[in-house]
Amino acid sequence: MKKIRVVSLFSGMGAYEKALKNLKIEYNLINYCEIDEIISNAYSILHNEPITKNLKDIKSINPKKIKNFDLLCYSPPCQSFSAAGKKSGLQDEKGNLFYDALKIIQTKKPKYCIMENVANLANKFKKEFNDMLLSLDNAGYNNYWKKINAKDFIPQNRDRVFVVSIRKDIDDGLFEFPLGSNQHLSWDTFIDISDTIELTDKQLQRVNYAKGINENLIKIKGVVQFKHSVISFFMNSMVFSDKREFPTLLTLAHQYVICCNERISRLHPRSHFKLMGFDINDYNKLDGKFSNKSLYKMTGNSICVPVLEGIIGNLLKNKVIK
């Protein structure tokens, strides 16, 4: 099979590209698209690609100027549909970015497209989601979609919807989504739980007053999620203990604290990389070049790589790219 030509939109850390590498599928990156300059630099380092391949703002792209490619990977911003976001759907500017990706699909007609977004898109925004699927159908694609929780592939509770679009003239109707094994280790054995960052005395004092925190909790292995912003992140907490999967990683460094061995701390970014399916070598490439705050943001906005490995593997197995 010759190298598959890839365009990546809303690229973030490049989880799709990481999955391709793990599957040993040779590919040629035509372009990636990441508007955040810091994350773009991280992508370039992680995947050894020149910054000049970055298309930057998707709204400024002329699809006709993009070279032909086979696979489009895109994950439009999820805040417009997320349960934790504004929930303004397609009325929000970010919610409309799907249609900028659609223009590229309509113009370039790649063989395959894979989209990821929050499960809430299919749960609470069914009309908008159906409109998206109809638009892809009208563009000439058969569409397969499924809500997949990453906890069946890696110990993180991360529920997302995936849409695989295959051009109708090449679709053999055999694509199936991966099931996952659900046999992974518990989160506290999957990562090094001792790899943590100490909280300051001031933060610890606030933790002691957080709802649901008590002396008994810190004597067990557990995770505490804080529901509000950094200003009040020690209020209205949710406690997760004795769970196989880690709660959904978010973008705030202080969103969770770990209670273990009578010690309260937060996970180091290295562990966040592992819980997203990246590895320590990936972390080491970025260590010292980016702040921990940026690393937490990158991982919190990324996609669990093992899920993508399952999807891409099923999509491209036994396929001959011509």
Catalytic residue ranges = 78
CA distance 146 to 194: 36
Beta-carbon contacts of 54 under 8 Å, excluding residues fewer than 6 positions away, are: 31, 32, 33, 34, 40, 43, 44
Buried b (16+ CB within 10 A) or exposed e, 232-255: ebbeebeebeebebbbbbbebbbb
Phi-psi region of 10 (alpha: psi -120 to 50; beta: other; left: phi over 0): left
CA distance 52 to 49: 8
How much of the chain is in helix, strand and coil states, percent to nearest 5?
35, 20, 40
Where do we find the tokens 């020690």? 234
**Partners of residue 7 on adjacent β-strands:** 31, 72
Is residue 283 within 8 Å of residue 39, measured between CB atoms? no
Going by DSSP bridges, is the β-strand pair 27-33/71-74 parallel, antiparallel, or unpaired? unpaired
Closest CA to 310 of 98, 117, 164: 164
Is residue 38 within 8 Å of residue 289, measured between CB atoms? no
Beta-carbon contacts of 207 under 8 Å, excluding residues fewer than 6 positions away, are: 199, 213, 224, 234, 257, 264
